Amino acid sequence: RSLPLSQSRQPVSLHGITSGYFWKSFFFYYRAIFVKHPTGESRSMAPKGKQATKGKKQIAEENKTTLNFYFYIISGVNAVFYAIWYLLFWESYSTGAIVMSAVSAVIYFASMQFMQSMGRARYHDGQLVDAGVDLNMESGMAEHLKDLILLTAITQSCSLISNYFWLLLLLAPGRALYMLWVNILGPWFMSPSPEEEVDEKKQRKMERKMKRQQVIR
């Protein structure tokens, strides 16, 4: 019997997953994601200003390591997720949850394909010609894609507890709209028009002229 998307799991199922491999896997990926960077450095303590000094070979190797790292995250999360789903929720899995699982699969696939395209190295006669975009560059497009993969993985895992956790995926478009406003729309709407700038210059000029007249008097 199908359950609606907004309905939480039954307590008996919650007890089953809390005593199994779900939480062990969850905390394993949490430590892997937030404690240690795939290139061997702490994510929170990454050195500043070293991106420009990297050689092509180093960038290519780190890109390969990063892609493998996130591939393992996606594979591990999905293996645990579908194993628990098959063992505990086969009879009660809702259509809405199936749709959201498909959405998460699309997010994984699109994000990985985009990063692979960005970080693809090119060789000519066995020599590295282009290392591709540095996927570990701070504030780059790849950083947003990696955050999207992590958000989807955590959301998918937590959805085994309650389908309400799928709402966490709304954080992705919310962040995109925020960045669009801060970087593009906000400055465009808030910037003064050329006429206003000219009027301000005239006003300052008039104020200086009036001050000089007051000093002369």
For residue 171, give Cα distances in angstroms to 98, 111, 151, 155, 168. 20, 16, 9, 11, 6
pLDDT of 197 over the 50 cut: yes
For residue 81, what pLDDT is reported? 92
**pLDDT score recorded for residue 40:** 53
Calpha distance 101→164 (Å, rounded): 13
Q: Which SS3 state, helix, strand or coil, does residue 124 take?
A: strand
How far is Cα 39 from Cα 32, in angstroms, rounded to an integer?
A: 11
Is 60 exceeded by the pLDDT of residue 196? no
CA distance 38 to 67: 9
Q: Per residue in 65-84, pLDDT tens? A: 999 999 999 999 999 999 99
Range in 31-35, 112-116, 153-157 with the lowest mean pLDDT = 31-35
**What integer pLDDT is reported at residue 70 of this predicted model?**
95
Matching residue, tokens 């950083």: 143
Residue 108 confidence (pLDDT) above 90: yes
If one compares 188 and 198, the residue with the highest pLDDT of the two is 188
**The dihedral sign for the CA sequence 75, 79, 81, 86:** positive
Kindly tell me if the per-residue pLDDT of 131 is higher than 80: yes
Domain boundaries, given as residue ranges, for the chain = 11-171
Specify the pLDDT at position 11. 39
DSSP conformation class of 72: H
149: nearest Cα among 216, 94, 76, 87 = 76
Give residue 51's pLDDT.
45
Q: What is the pLDDT of residue 85?
A: 86
Helix (H) or strand (E) holding 130: strand 127-130
Does the model's pTM come out above 0.95?
Answer: no
Mean pLDDT for 36-64 is 63
Out of 21-35, 118-132, 194-208, least confident range: 21-35
**Three-state SS at 91:** coil
Report the candidate in 125, 120, 148 with the shortest Cα–Cα distance to residue 59.
Answer: 120
Q: What percent of the chain has pLDDT over 70?
A: 68
Q: What is the reported pLDDT for 20? A: 43
pLDDT > 50? residue 94: yes
Nearest of 120, 122, 110 to residue 148 by alpha carbon: 110
